[in-house]
Amino acid sequence: MTTLIHPTALVAPGAKLADDVKVGAYSVIGEHVEIGAGTEIGPHVVIEGHTRIGRDNRIFQFASLGAAPQDKKYAGEPTRLEIGDRNTIREFCTFNLGTIQDAGVTRVGSDNWIMAYVHVAHDCQLGDQIILANNTTLAGHVHLGDWVFLGGFTSVHQFCKIGAHAMTAFTAAVTQDIPPYVTAAGNRAAPNGINSEGLKRRGFSSDTIMAIKRAYKALYRQGLSLDEAKAQLAQMAQTEPAVQLLVDFIAQSERGIIR
């Protein structure tokens, strides 16, 4: 293992690194860190706290993972950061530990592409296959579903949820939940169609995409109240399973959806 760790790197004795983990120059790995096989840590990276990182991740220089949350209530509790497999984490990203006011863990799934200067605050829960463009900022307790794509400089208010396959435009300011499939833009973020191109790339059939478009129109374009739209979506979901994702998301929304 020592042949893969640069001599200037500082790896605490209690850290658990798989034999083929690479650690670059001047990086610091803390006492309670676990890193899985095939993961590469660039130079000048700091990984601290109770942080567990899976297999085959690539973490670029100057990232900070597992630092204390930016929450004045945090008092040093042994909360956690968990990162899955095959993620790319670019320069100057900051991922914080969770807090005991929530589940006590910040989670990042697998196969995510996270660009430079992204901030993932305490207690965020990220799924798989997500793209976060440069300078995306997630406040505490934000949840992102699978295949979410957030444009550069997107800011997401604490406790917001963004559903699977949703997308934001450059500089979107998200203050309420974004349902699955929906594209949002503006400050404050407003609905702007569905992510049809992304759905095509992921193999959604033309019939399914058309059903999602009809659901979007019921929710946003027909002048229906939210209760009326929810009733229509529930009816559509009986014949189109993809619409059920919308129905379930709206039912569980606590901040309310963008409209």
Q: What is the per-residue DSSP string for 121-167?
A: -TT-EE-SS-EE-TT-EE-TT-EE-TT-EE-TT-EE-TT-EE-TT-E
Tokens of 164: 């699977």
Packing angle, helices 241-252 and 206-220, rounded to 10: 30
Q: How far is CA 103 from the centre of its chain?
A: 16
Per the listing, tokens 């200067």 go with 117
In angstroms, the Cα distances linking 235 to 179, 189, 238 are 18, 28, 6
Residues with Cβ < 8 Å from 72, sequence gap 6 or more?
none
Provide the annotated active-site residues.
Answer: 122-123, 140
Task: Return the pLDDT at 52.
Answer: 98
Rounded Cα distance, 32 and 52, in Å: 8
Write the pLDDT tens digit of every residue in 112-139: 999 999 999 999 999 999 999 999 999 9
Task: Return the pLDDT at 178.
Answer: 98
Measured from the Cβ of residue 225, the count of other Cβ atoms closer than 10 Å reads: 8
pTM value > 0.95? yes
Task: Return the pLDDT at 56.
Answer: 98
Per the listing, tokens 């690194």 go with 17
What the chain holds in terms of domains, given with CATH numbers, is 2-141 (2.160.10.10), 200-252 (1.20.1180.10)
Residue ranges of the chain with pLDDT lower than 70? 1-3
Task: Return the pLDDT at 195.
Answer: 97
Task: Name the maximum alpha-carbon separation found in the chain.
Answer: 65
